[in-house]
Amino acid sequence: MLKYFRKKQKEVQTEKVYNTQCPYCSMQCKMQLIEQSVVSRKQYKTVGKENPTTQGRLCVKGMNAYQHAFNKERLKYPMLKVNGEFVRISWEQALERIKAQFTRIQEEDGLNALAVYGSASITNEEAYLLGKFARVALKTKYIDYNGRLCMSAAASAASQTFGMDRGFTNSLAEIPNTRCIILAGTNIAECQPTIMPYFEKAKENGAFIIVIDPRETATTKLADLHLKLRPGTDAALANGLLKVIVEENYSNEAFIQERAHGFHEVKEYLASVELREIEAITGVSINEIQKAAIKFGKEETGMIFTARGVEQQTDGSAAVRNLLNLLVATGKLGKPNCGFGAITGQGNGQGAREHGQKADQLPGYRSIENKEHRKFVADVWGIDPDDLPGKGVSAYEIMEKIDEGEITGLFLMCSNPVVSNPNAHFVKNALKKLKFLVAVDLFVSETAKLADLILPTSSYLEDEGTMTNVEGRVTLREASCPCPGEVKHDWQIIVEIARALGKEKYFSFSSAEEIFNELRLASRGGIADYYGITYERLRKEGGILWPCPDLEHKGTLRLFETSFAHPDGKAKMVVVPNKPVVPKEEVNSEFPLYLTTGRVMSHYLTGVQTRRSPALAARNIESYMEIHPATAMDYQIADHSLVKIDSRRGSITVRSKYSETIRPDTVFVPFHWADSQNVNVLIGGELDPVCRMPGFKLSAVKVSPVNDVFAN
């Protein structure tokens, strides 16, 4: 036996430790990947690393993230499509091809015929550079990113109510001491697992937790009260809560008087609505509405958290604004243990929405339509403000413009829209019409398959840069591993294309840190001010919450202590009607069930990475439809059987999964799978009129056993 162990020990020849951050969600857990070289092969282990946000915790995705990074299918060379097949080419050939095609397209179809589609999974440096690339190198107004499908409703609601949008108004450390928490449409237990101890601690300390979700989830298990509403009715539910709070005198008159506008109009509207009407719309009983409202109103401190359940609706921005009304009305803002959190999604969901990837935005959360903002950024970039293009359109509208032939070339970085956009058949067909599609990815994703050219990029283990986490804390992810094959970093790819297009003067960067230092200048004085943050400070201090306007500034833990960010310092309440301005899809006799969509713990977004991670894929090897057994009986669907789901847009086939706890009028399907299991085939392309968010969380569908298909 001893001999055996000695032999084993000898076999471990070297051990390397890579300091990194998880590539997946907004928690950005710090971790170490330990690589042991054993005689014949390498083996890996991941351990969490102490940090202020996640304190060394990791979830199953972080632990196994190395599996996709080291997957054999990783792209290692530029690949050009020739006669329908991808063939390896050199970087020189790839850059020449891009130059020729981009130039041809802009000559034939105009400057705005080229569009850029970015991502919130890239670093701040890359998000910043991509915005600059679109406006300065390509001179196109069409740039947007996948965060539009993710954070846009919460971001626009916070900007309108508070005058600025940072995901969390406070730091996570305050959660354990709050007395009442509303979790609306957020499944933190599966989607940000390492945040859970903050809420568990709050519960231990006696906090009352209200969860709003049409399903029972790992998160609703935390709840003292679960409001199992009908999908898409959060705005009306918030009116119910507000009505009780106002009428039972739990509103904070002094706070409202001093720090808010619009309360009078809201109060007037609430007087005109009946709780009975709200009960009918939401499916939540008057009794439960009263209980939740009184609890939230009564407690001295309280916090509201929203995520995509509330936000990914065609009235998502209004629904969030109504929940913010609740915070303003009760004065639970700008003081300890009170506040709002839009639980950010992607690893850099926060930072990537601040530095100019959005259609209407310039770095530092500046507006592309504001003359002074344009001048400020143009000066940093060394260009004439008049040369800056104007505002473009949102992510899904880019797809519509491609379909209409107005956009004929697309540069896609770090997204898989064929699976993640609504109306997936339409999107796929539109992308096929492009004259030239370049995809920058780790793998041949479902969208990359349609590309003319795929450029291989580096993973989280290889690429250095800053990521801003769920708290608004800027963190530095160090580069650890060398790039495989001829892989380049996203920022290098942008720089090299800009240079090939003759714009080297504006893209002279040779490291991520150099880009960050320009970002600091471009964000200076803006809402999202990163000027005081440096790589050196991040290494020393382990993360800084923006705004951080100068090098001595410690970062901002809590926002709005003395004033909101609107010019007059006041928050803006607004009337949100029970019935949305844009009507939502209704169920009827042909499509009698609500479909809502979301996530499972072990997979990430469109699954391109997690489906290639054996340990994660094994946990959920296929998609499924959660359905109440009583509803399943009505449609003769057995448990674990194949079921066809149809909407007005198309159909998919997945396996059924009985759930006693989902609303009987609702089915749920996760969106991590492609092709015949791509749930976005079913979702419509209608958008929120304010923030242009699609309604991922609500469609009308019918379900039938697959056997029926054969019987017919």
Ligand X SMILES: Nc1nc2c(c(=O)[nH]1)N[C@H]1C(S)=C(S)[C@@H](COP(=O)(O)OP(=O)(O)OC[C@H]3O[C@@H](n4cnc5c(=O)[nH]c(N)nc54)[C@H](O)[C@@H]3O)O[C@H]1N2
Q: Please, where are the H alpha helices in 413-511?
A: 417-420, 424-432, 490-500
What length is written for the chain? 712
Among 130-138, 200-208, 270-278, 414-422, which window interacts with ligand X (CB under 6 A)? 414-422
Query: Identity (one letter) of the amino acid at 593?
Result: L
Residues 695, 584 contacting (CB under 8 angstroms): yes
Name which of 29 and 207 has its Cβ closer to ligand SF4.
29
- Is residue 188 a contact residue for Mo ion (CB under 5 A)? no
Residues 181, 211 contacting (CB under 8 angstroms): no
- Mask: binding to ligand X, 447-486, rule CB under 6 A, as x and -? ----------x-----------------------------
Of Mo ion, ligand SF4, ligand X, none, which one sits near residue 340, judging by CB under 5 to 8 A according to partner kind? none
Name which of 236 and 571 has its Cβ closer to ligand X.
236
Residues 381, 85 contacting (CB under 8 angstroms): no
Query: Identity (one letter) of the amino acid at 287?
Result: N
Q: How far is CA 169 from the centre of its chain?
A: 18
The number of residues that bind Mo ion (CB under 5 A) is 2
- Mask: binding to ligand X, 660-689, rule CB under 6 A, as x and -? --------x--x-------xx--x------
What own/partner pairs with CB < 8 Å and gap ≥ 24 does 220-225 have?
A: 221/189, 222/183, 222/189, 223/183, 225/288, 225/291, 225/292, 225/295
**What are the backbone dihedrals phi and psi of residue 689, each rounded to the nearest 5 degrees, phi first?**
-65, -25
Among 70-78, 98-106, 372-380, 594-602, which window interacts with ligand X (CB under 6 A)? 594-602
For residue 608 the two structure tokens come to: 């391109």
Taking CB atoms, the residue at the shortest distance from Mo ion is: 345
Q: CA-based diameter of the chain, in Å? A: 83
Least separation, in Å, of the C-beta of 671 and Mo ion? 10
Least separation, in Å, of the C-beta of 246 and ligand X? 22
Among 345, 347, 417, 456, binds Mo ion (CB under 5 A): 345
Which residues contact ligand SF4 (rule: CB under 6 A)?
Answer: 22, 24-25, 27-29, 58-59, 61-62, 192-194
Of ligand X, ligand SF4, Mo ion, none, which one sits near residue 62, judging by CB under 5 to 8 A according to partner kind? ligand SF4
- Mask: binding to ligand X, 309-328, rule CB under 6 A, as x and -? xx-x----------------
Name which of 227 and 352 has its Cβ closer to Mo ion.
352
Residues 185, 213 contacting (CB under 8 angstroms): yes
- Integer Rg of the chain from CA: 25
Name which of 212 and 544 has its Cβ closer to ligand X.
212
Nearest to 448 by CA among 457, 681, 148: 457
Of Mo ion, ligand X, ligand SF4, none, which one sits near residue 58, judging by CB under 5 to 8 A according to partner kind? ligand SF4
For residue 508 the two structure tokens come to: 């002279």
DSSP code at position 589: S
Among 78, 118, 163, 185, binds ligand X (CB under 6 A): 185
Name which of 171 and 192 has its Cβ closer to Mo ion.
192
Which distant-in-sequence residues (6+ apart) come within 8 Å of 40 by Cβ? none
- Is residue 127 a contact residue for Mo ion (CB under 5 A)? no
What is the footprint of ligand X within residues 186-205 (CB under 6 A)? 186-187, 190-192
CA angle (242, 291, 323) in 5-degree steps? 30
Which distant-in-sequence residues (6+ apart) come within 8 Å of 634 by Cβ? none
Name which of 22 and 434 has its Cβ closer to ligand SF4.
22
Among 150, 451, 544, 632, binds Mo ion (CB under 5 A): 150
The CA-to-CA distance between both ends of the chain, in Å, stands at 65
Among 174, 216, 234, 288, binds ligand X (CB under 6 A): 234
Prior bond of 547 cis (ω within 30°): yes
- The percent of the chain in helix, strand and coil, each rounded to the nearest 5, is 40, 20, 45
Least separation, in Å, of the C-beta of 347 and ligand SF4? 7
Nearest to 149 by CA among 419, 337, 426, 363: 419
Least separation, in Å, of the C-beta of 346 and ligand SF4? 10
Residues 182, 342 contacting (CB under 8 angstroms): no
- Is residue 413 a contact residue for ligand X (CB under 6 A)? yes
Q: Which residues contact Mo ion by CB under 5 A? A: 150, 345
The binding site for ligand X (CB under 6 A) comprises: 25, 119, 121-122, 146, 149-150, 184-187, 190-192, 212-215, 217, 229, 231-232, 234, 307-310, 312, 345-346, 413-417, 419-420, 440-443, 445, 457, 490, 596-599, 601, 603-606, 608-609, 668, 671, 679-680, 683, 696-697
